[in-house]
Every structure is written in C-alpha cells, then in structure tokens.
Structure 1
Amino acid sequence: MTNSKTNLDARLERKPSVELSVRDLKVSYRTRNGYFHALDGIDFDLQPGSVLGLVGESGCGKSTVVKALMRLLPEGTKVTGEVKLDGDDLLAMGQSELRDVRWNKISLVTQSAMNSLDPVVCIGDQIVESILAHEKVSKDIAWERAESLFELVGLLPKRLHEFPHQFSGGMRQRAVIAMALSLNAGLLLADEPTTALDPIMQDQIMASIRKIQEMLKRSMILVTHDIGLVAENCDTVAVMYAGKIVEAGPVQEVLVSPEHPYTIGLHNAFPRMLEEGQERPPLISIAGSLPNLLDPPKGCRFQNRCPLASEICSAEEPTLIQKSNGRRVACHHVDKTEQFRTIANKSETWAIGAGDLT
C-alpha cells in the first residue's frame, strides 16, 4: 500500500501520456425505425501529449466518438472498427480489463456535470471512490489527493464535503475535471466541457483545462462546436459532418486555409479577431440541415448543402485524401477550393441551390 500522498502523487505523475489510433470506427444506434448510423468509418491518430479537437455542428457524431472510446454506448448499439490505446484494442476488451483502463488510462469530462455526479453523495467521496477503485491507498491519503485536485481547478478544499446541488454550474464542471484527473489518466476526453456556461465561466474552465494539460502533458481530445476553442487549445483538428471526418490536420492550416466546403462554411459562420481598421465581415450560416442518418444518402453527405456539388458528388462517396503536411480532405472538388474560398464569404454563395457553382 502506498504510505503517503507524496508517494501516490509521484507515482501518478510518472504515468506516460498515451497514444491513440482509431481505424474505421462505425457506430449504429438501434431505434424503432431501424439503425441510426451515427459514425461511419472514423479514422484518426492522437500522439502522446497532444490535443485533438473534434469540431462540427450538433448531431454530427462528436459525442458518439467519445462514448465509443469510453465504451459507454447503450445496449444494442452496433460498434465495429479498431480503437487502440497504446496498442491495446478498447473495443475488444472484456469488462474487467475495461474497468482497469477507465479513469486509470482514459478519463472523461462530460458536457453535463450535474448528470455525471451522484446527487446524494458528497463530491469528495465521489473523487475518493475513483481513487480507491484503482489504487491501494488509505481513504485519508485519497482525500488529501482530492483536496489538492480541488486546489488545482480553483475550488476550496473544504467544499469537498458538499453535494452537487450546492455548487454552481461552473463549480460542478470544475469538480468533474478534478475527478477526471484523480488518477492522472494518460488521455483526457473533454466532451463540450463549457456547454451552458456563461462566457466568463467558459473562459475560466478552458483556462483550467489548458493549465492542467500543459502542466501534466496529458493527451486530450476536445469535443466542441466552437471553432474558437479549437483554435486556442488544440494542436490538430478533425472536422466532422454527418458521422464522417471531412477534413483534418494541423489547427493553424485547417482553420486559416480550410479546403473542404463545409469547413469553409464553418469558418464563415464564426466571428474572428480582426486587425485594427479591418471591416468585420458578416456571419454567414450554411443553409439546410444534416441528412437523415437512418438512411444516409449515397455519395457525399454534404451534397444537398454544398454550392460546389456536382453529379459525381451524389454518385460516389469521396475518400479522405492524404495531402502534404498531415492534411486530409474528403471532397471531389478539392482542386476548386482556392477559387471557392474567395467567394464563400458572400452570403449569396450559400443562398443559391446546391451545385449551382459547378
């Protein structure tokens, strides 16, 4: 048994960050009307100590990726593919192996802190329970670690004795972050960690996560619909649309010079920092909605909303082409990207019918 908090902290800090490899991940939820194909062939890699942003509009499958990695999907869900964490396939693990991995090697910050905390157990006991499940330490040592975790996320240690309903939304979110860090897992999954918080609290929460990631050098996946959060916090980004990754690569390259029409549309739908004297361009929404994933369309799933769509887009699904410098793009008309980018910042470009520019 570890005989002091110092020994426990030192051992947990020696844990390496992890490497993650996801190949051909497919997830289909069972519904009354058939299977809803939430993910279809997701591929990405996460290098040790790096931060990957998963970005896209609501319903694109971002949170499903996180739930698949944690094996938290509903019973009856079809899951295929390969998810290797330091070479071990998470999808092939039995429940006993999975219990050893959760919180110990991979941990989760959910988007709804109130729903992830037990309302009738004080928060300190919930953090201590997660430590005792994996470490042979006394409850006193586990409680000392919980106190230091609260200090790390900007909460008073004395509030460990309180219950979730006694915390504000931002404080609950910090408590969930503290719990996710309890065993210094090599991979931190942050699923919309600032949802429903005011802008000031959003900034504070993300500052806490950035500080922790930089200090502990953990690997992290940040799931969000906010391109600004990705720009500030991530090394690489994968843009998702209707259950697929349509563009991926280094953050600065993908966000500054996007190549997929959907990424270009997202870029124009968010406010940007401007140089002094520059005129602020209008925010432009992408007309239309996501396709029905109970019966996904043939070809490109963005075809019904894309001004560049042509006959091939409805006939053949574009592959995620590997380009230079780690860039990947899935578009039949990637050769027209530079031309399209110059007119995509005009609202009339997106107001016209799909395929009217080809």
Structure 2
Amino acid sequence: MSESFTATAAVAHSGVEQFTLQAIEFAPLQGDEVIVEIHGVGICHTDVVVKAEVTEFPFPAILGHEGAGIVTRVGSGVNRVKAGDHVIVSFGSCGDCASCSADQPSYCHHMPELNYFGLRADGSPAITSEGKVIHSHFFGQSSFASHALSNERNLIVIDKDLPLELMGPIGCGIQTGAGAVMRSLNAQADQSILIAGGGAVGLSAVMAAAIRNCKQIIVMEPNAARRKLALELGATHVIDPTESPDLAEFIQQLSPAGVDLCVDTTGIPPVISALLAALAPRGTLGIVGITPPDTPPPGDLTMIMQRGLTIKGIMIGDTDLAEFIGELLQYYRAGSFPIDKLVTRYPLSAINEAMKDHMAGDCIKAVLLPRT
C-alpha cells in the first residue's frame, strides 16, 4: 500500500513513568511489510526492563512484542500472508544468516538492527506522531497499539477459530518457557526438572515438562497462588524459597541425587547459583531470565568440570517459530497446554494499571485488548 495509515498506540517517553495513548501515523509500507490489527498483546518482563531504560532502546517508543491479530494491509512484495489472515506476531530475523538457515532465528546475526534499534533495517522511521519520530520495530512489531507494522517473516498464520486475545504471548514468553524444556533441554520422561519462577515463562515450562511426562517437576516460587497453579498445571512438587536460607540443600531434600535439568526464569544470581549446586552429575542448567548487568557466570569452574555440568543460555526457547508454535497450538486444542489459566485481560487504555499489576505479581500474564 502506498498511502500512510493512522492508528492509536501506548507510547513510552523517556523519564516519564506512565505510557501515553496517542495517535500515530505509519509511513507507506515497504514491499515486505504488513499492518496487523492487534486484538491482544501480552506484557512481558522485557517490556518493563526497556521501559525502565535499563537498555539503550531509543525513546519515544512503542513497546510490546507479544501481539496477535488480523492482517489488514500488505506490501507489494508480500506473498506469505494476505489481508484477513489471523496471525501471531513474533520477533524479527533476516532468514539468510547461518543461524536462520539452521532454523535458529532467535540467534539471528542481525537480531539487534531488526529488533532493538527502533527503526527499519534501512534506518528509516516507520512511525511518527505530530511530525515527530516514534521508535518502533521493538522485537519486530511494537504492538502496544491498535495496529502494528511488521515483516511478513515475523508472522505465523493460525486458524481463525483460535482466540486471538490469548495467542500473542505464545510468540515470546510462552514459547520461551515451553521451548526451553522441549527444545533447548529436550527433557525426557526419565528425567527430573527444577523450574525457578512461577511466572508465565516458568509455568509454560511446567506445562511442557508435564507434556514430556518428566518423572519429577519441581517449581520454586515464593507466591503461594502461583505454587498452587503450578501443581494444577503438572508440577509434582513446589518449593517456597523463603522457607530455607540454603536453597540448594532444600532442593536436595526432594531430589537427593540432584536434578537432571534446571530452568531459571528469575535472573537472580543467588537463585542461579543454587540451581547449579542442585544439579545431578552431568546435569544441565538452562538460563532464561534476564540477569543484572555484568553478572558473572555462576559456580566454580572446577566443580562444573568435575561433575560434567552444562550451563546453557536460552533465547526464546531455541525454537523455529512456525513449527513449534504449531505444535503448542495442537497441545492447546487438546487441553494439555491451558494458557488461558495464565491470562488476565485489560483494555489497552489500562496499560499503566496492567503494568503495575505485573510488577506487583498480581497477575501472571497481563494481556492488553486494544479493541475493548
């Protein structure tokens, strides 16, 4: 489409605590670009981190990267999707580098410029408001808005009977947790697994471990309601980490020989160290949570060597997007991946309230509904 397009977005401004709803204007679409009418977008902790200006993403900006909706406009070169398609919007990747060619787009060699610079890959702005540039392309979408501009490669077409308001978080947090278990660690039925953190990523990992029939699924989470939900979703044991000053010892009371696999979703260095200490010989620790800047690798290298331990960094679950998301949707339809139990809905106009509830732990996965 050659003409510009107007929409509404929740814009983050530098030094301003709250988001502001304002009118935005999209530039004319480039050949491979698509406009998606957003019907639901999840709030992820990464949105919170960027809003707090911990990273260098430029402001003013539209954040949001767990969107789902309906394609309304397509560029002249688009052939993978069409107007009217229901889609999950995920992160940007180039499709040509060594990682993308190996079906590992989350490690795309061009990840920064496609997802973190706030502009198109060619450096041009895609969105303005009152003549001023509003930075976009956050994780390839910037979907805290009524409409988002993305690339056709970022989109996963889904069946039209699926509830769009639930689908967005699958594109990031949910596939991150599930992928950590089912792809990165490839958990098996004869293995034990410990998951630190009972948020959306951790509970998605629990559901994935239950699908894999892991013999022991332990969840470490201080929030009692989340521990209860973890048990409902398939955890065999839950731990309140506030009950013991020695987390590794407390964990080993449940699994004396140590656990085979650990997934950290917290990013808290003492928790990560405790998980490493709780591993059985030849065990693997997968790190998903965002750690504070300059956090050193956990543990004693001699101990890691002598016990044959592996520490694995995990980005968005090491998934190949369309194939894995399709698999998760099959589990959802079968009732074994009930993501609806994680979601609390808010209108987009209540984004500041939703952010507050997210930070306070009063919801597991806040989903904003721009059309409400």
Query: With structure 1 as the length reference, what TM-score do the two structures score?
Result: 0.24
Bigger strand fraction: 2
Greater Rg by CA: 1
Query: With structure 2 as the length reference, what TM-score do the two structures score?
Result: 0.23
